[in-house]
A and B are shown apart, each in its own frame.
Chain A
Amino acid sequence: MSVIELHDVVKTFGATHALDHLDLTVEQGEVHGFLGPNGAGKSTTIRVLLGLLKADSGTATMLGGDPWHDAATLHRRLAYVPGDVSLWPNLSGGEVIDVLARMRGGLDEARRREMLERFDLDPTKKARTYSKGNRQKVALVAALASRADLYLLDEPTSGLDPLMEAEFQEAVFELKDEGATILLSSHILAEAEALADRISIIRAGRVVQSGTLAELRHLTRTTVIAETDRPATQIAAVPGVHEPELHGNRVTFDVDSDHLDAAVTALAGLGVRSLAAHPPTLEELFLRQYGEDVPA
Chain B
Amino acid sequence: MSTSPATSSVTGVGHLLRLILRRDRVRLPVWVVGLGGTIVASALAVPPLYDTPEKIAGYARIVGATPVSYLMSGRQVGLDTLGGIVANEISQVAQLGVCLMVVFLVVRHTRAEEESGRAELLRSTVLGRHAATLAGLAYGFAAALLIGAITAISMLAAGLDLAGTLTYGTGLALLGVAYTAVTLVAVQLSTSARGALGLAGAAVAVGYLVRGLGAVEDNALVWLSPFGWAQGMDAFGDERWWPAGLLLGFTALLLALAARLMAHRDFGGGLLTTRPGPARAGWLLSTPFGVATRIQRGLLIGWAVGLFLLGMLYGAVIPTVPDLIASNPEMADFVGASGQAAEDALVDAFLGYMFLFMAVIACGFVVSSVLRLRSEEEAGRAEVVLATPVSRTSWMAATTGVALVAATKLTVIMGLGLAVGYGLASGEWDQVVPQVAGQLAYLPGVLVVGALAAALYGLIPRGTGLAWAAVALIAVQVILGQLLGLPDAVQAVSPFWHLAAVPVDDFEVVPYVSLLLLTAALVAAGLWGYRRRDAVAG
Binding site for B on A (CB under 8 A): 13-14, 16, 18, 44, 47, 50-54, 71-73, 75-76, 78-80, 82, 84-92, 94-95, 97-100, 102-105, 123-126, 128-129, 139, 152
Stretch at the interface among B102-110, B277-285, B340-348, B423-431: B277-285
A287 to chain B, nearest CB (A): 29
- Interface membership of B3, Cβ < 8 A: no
| Residue in contact with A92 in the complex, picked from B277, B288, B386, B390, CB distance below 8 Å | B277
Residues of A contacting B487 with CB < 8 Å? none
Stretch at the interface among B163-171, B308-316, B376-384: B376-384
| Inter-subunit contact B281/A95 (CB<8 Å) | yes
| B288-327 contacts to A (CB < 8 Å) | 288, 291, 294-295, 297-298
Residues of A contacting B295 with CB < 8 Å? 88, 90-91
Residues of A contacting B115 with CB < 8 Å? 128
Residues of B contacting A105 with CB < 8 Å? 388-389
Residues of A contacting B536 with CB < 8 Å? 47, 52-53
The CB with the most chain A CB atoms within 10 A, among B285, B386, B388, B390, is that of B388
| Inter-subunit contact A123/B279 (CB<8 Å) | yes
- Interface membership of B7, Cβ < 8 A: no
| Inter-subunit contact B391/A72 (CB<8 Å) | yes
CB nearest to B376 among chain A residues: A88
Separation of A53 and B377 alpha carbons in the complex (Å): 13
| Inter-subunit contact A95/B388 (CB<8 Å) | no
CB nearest to A44 among chain B residues: B538
| Residue in contact with B277 in the complex, picked from A18, A94, A139, CB distance below 8 Å | A94
Separation of A125 and B277 alpha carbons in the complex (Å): 6
Residues of A contacting B533 with CB < 8 Å? 54
CB nearest to A80 among chain B residues: B387
| B255-293 contacts to A (CB < 8 Å) | 274-282, 285-286, 288, 291
B534 to chain A, nearest CB (A): 5
Separation of A14 and B534 alpha carbons in the complex (Å): 13
| Inter-subunit contact A104/B389 (CB<8 Å) | yes
Separation of A18 and B534 alpha carbons in the complex (Å): 14
Separation of A72 and B393 alpha carbons in the complex (Å): 10
- Interface membership of B385, Cβ < 8 A: yes
Q: Offer 28 A-B interface pairs, CB within 8 angstroms, sorted by A.
A: A13-B538, A50-B383, A52-B386, A52-B535, A53-B534, A53-B535, A54-B533, A71-B386, A73-B389, A75-B389, A76-B389, A82-B387, A86-B379, A88-B295, A88-B381, A90-B294, A91-B294, A92-B276, A92-B277, A94-B278, A97-B281, A98-B281, A103-B385, A103-B390, A104-B389, A126-B277, A128-B191, A139-B384
Separation of A264 and B294 alpha carbons in the complex (Å): 69
Closest 10 CB pairs of A and B: A92-B277, A98-B281, A13-B538, A72-B391, A80-B387, A103-B388, A94-B279, A124-B276, A95-B281, A52-B535
Residues of B contacting A104 with CB < 8 Å? 388-389
CB nearest to B294 among chain A residues: A91
B363 to chain A, nearest CB (A): 24
Residues of B contacting A76 with CB < 8 Å? 389
B225 to chain A, nearest CB (A): 32
Residues of B contacting A99 with CB < 8 Å? 281, 285, 291
B249 to chain A, nearest CB (A): 36
B282 to chain A, nearest CB (A): 8
| Inter-subunit contact A100/B388 (CB<8 Å) | yes
Residues of B contacting A152 with CB < 8 Å? 387
The CB with the most chain A CB atoms within 10 A, among B298, B380, B394, B532, is that of B380
Separation of A73 and B390 alpha carbons in the complex (Å): 9
| Residue in contact with A89 in the complex, picked from B192, B275, B386, CB distance below 8 Å | B192
| Inter-subunit contact A95/B285 (CB<8 Å) | yes
| Inter-subunit contact B389/A86 (CB<8 Å) | no
Given A52-B386, A53-B535, A99-B291, CB of A71 within 8 Å of CB of B277: no
| Inter-subunit contact A80/B384 (CB<8 Å) | yes
The CB with the most chain B CB atoms within 10 A, among A13, A80, A90, A94, is that of A90
Separation of A79 and B298 alpha carbons in the complex (Å): 29
| Inter-subunit contact A102/B387 (CB<8 Å) | no
| Inter-subunit contact B534/A54 (CB<8 Å) | yes
Residues of B contacting A91 with CB < 8 Å? 277, 281, 294-295
Residues of A contacting B379 with CB < 8 Å? 86
Separation of A102 and B384 alpha carbons in the complex (Å): 13
Q: Could you count the A-B residue pairs with CB atoms below 8 Å apart for me: how many are there?
A: 125
| Inter-subunit contact A95/B278 (CB<8 Å) | yes
| Inter-subunit contact A90/B298 (CB<8 Å) | yes
B55 to chain A, nearest CB (A): 54
The secondary structure that dominates the B interface is loop
| Inter-subunit contact A82/B380 (CB<8 Å) | yes
| Residue in contact with B274 in the complex, picked from A72, A73, A128, CB distance below 8 Å | A128
Residues of B contacting A72 with CB < 8 Å? 389-392, 394
Residues of A contacting B275 with CB < 8 Å? 126
B115 to chain A, nearest CB (A): 8
| Residue in contact with B380 in the complex, picked from A84, A94, A123, A124, CB distance below 8 Å | A84
Separation of A95 and B389 alpha carbons in the complex (Å): 18
Residues of B contacting A89 with CB < 8 Å? 192
| Inter-subunit contact A125/B383 (CB<8 Å) | no
CB nearest to A87 among chain B residues: B381
Supplied contacts A90-B294, A103-B291, A124-B278, 6 more A-B pairs, CB within 8 Å: A16-B538, A51-B386, A75-B390, A123-B280, A126-B275, A128-B115
Residues of A contacting B392 with CB < 8 Å? 71-72
CB nearest to A116 among chain B residues: B279
CB nearest to B274 among chain A residues: A126
B373 to chain A, nearest CB (A): 14
CB nearest to B391 among chain A residues: A72
| Residue in contact with B276 in the complex, picked from A47, A87, A125, CB distance below 8 Å | A125
A264 to chain B, nearest CB (A): 50
Separation of A273 and B81 alpha carbons in the complex (Å): 111
CB nearest to B277 among chain A residues: A92
CB nearest to B276 among chain A residues: A124
| Inter-subunit contact A102/B285 (CB<8 Å) | yes
| B489-519 contacts to A (CB < 8 Å) | none
| Residue in contact with A18 in the complex, picked from B191, B385, B535, B538, CB distance below 8 Å | B538
Given A52-B534, A89-B192, A104-B389, CB of A47 within 8 Å of CB of B277: no
| Inter-subunit contact A75/B277 (CB<8 Å) | no
B85 to chain A, nearest CB (A): 47
Separation of A47 and B535 alpha carbons in the complex (Å): 9
The CB with the most chain B CB atoms within 10 A, among A44, A47, A87, is that of A47
Separation of A54 and B298 alpha carbons in the complex (Å): 34
The CB with the most chain A CB atoms within 10 A, among B286, B380, B384, is that of B384
Separation of A16 and B384 alpha carbons in the complex (Å): 25
Residues of A contacting B390 with CB < 8 Å? 72, 75, 103
| Residue in contact with B286 in the complex, picked from A79, A86, A102, CB distance below 8 Å | A102
Given A53-B536, A128-B192, CB of A82 within 8 Å of CB of B383: yes
B212 to chain A, nearest CB (A): 33
Separation of A125 and B386 alpha carbons in the complex (Å): 24
Separation of A50 and B384 alpha carbons in the complex (Å): 10
Separation of A89 and B294 alpha carbons in the complex (Å): 11
B79 to chain A, nearest CB (A): 48
Separation of A142 and B342 alpha carbons in the complex (Å): 66
Residues of B contacting A75 with CB < 8 Å? 386-390
The CB with the most chain A CB atoms within 10 A, among B276, B389, B533, B534, is that of B389
| Residue in contact with A95 in the complex, picked from B191, B277, B288, B298, CB distance below 8 Å | B277
